[in-house]
Amino acid sequence: MPRSNRRRVDHAPLALGRLAGMERREQHWDGAWTVRRVRGAGQGRVYRCPGCNQELSDDLPHVVAWPAEGMRGLPDRRHWHTSCWAAKDRRRV
């Protein structure tokens, strides 16, 4: 029987929550948050990460989060380092 040189494709499910720009809702100790991953636009803006209180340049991939409840808008959005957001529940900021 001839050997097949075709690669086998594993059709793993796509993790849509990990894609940049997709919003998702996360539950943390301080309530529900709407979270969006940002790739980094590089338009010269600098934010202050509430997790570590360090500057965050907009050319780096990061997380934008805002409270999911209520009529909150642009002033309630916070830009977090990705690692600071991942450690949010441990820090209780």
Beta bridge partners of residue 47, listed in sequence order = 56
DSSP string, 3-39: PP-PPPP--PPP-GGGSTT-EEEEEETTEEEEEEEE-
> Which contiguous run of DSSP H or E holds residue 67?
strand 62-67
Q: pTM of this prediction?
A: 0.71
Q: Count CB neighbours of 90 within 10 A.
A: 8
The pLDDT tens digits of the residues spanning 14-66 come to 554 455 568 899 999 888 999 999 988 778 899 999 999 999 998 999 999 99
Question: Rounded to whole angstroms, how far apart are CA atoms 16 and 11?
Answer: 14
Q: What is the mean pLDDT of residues 56-82?
A: 87
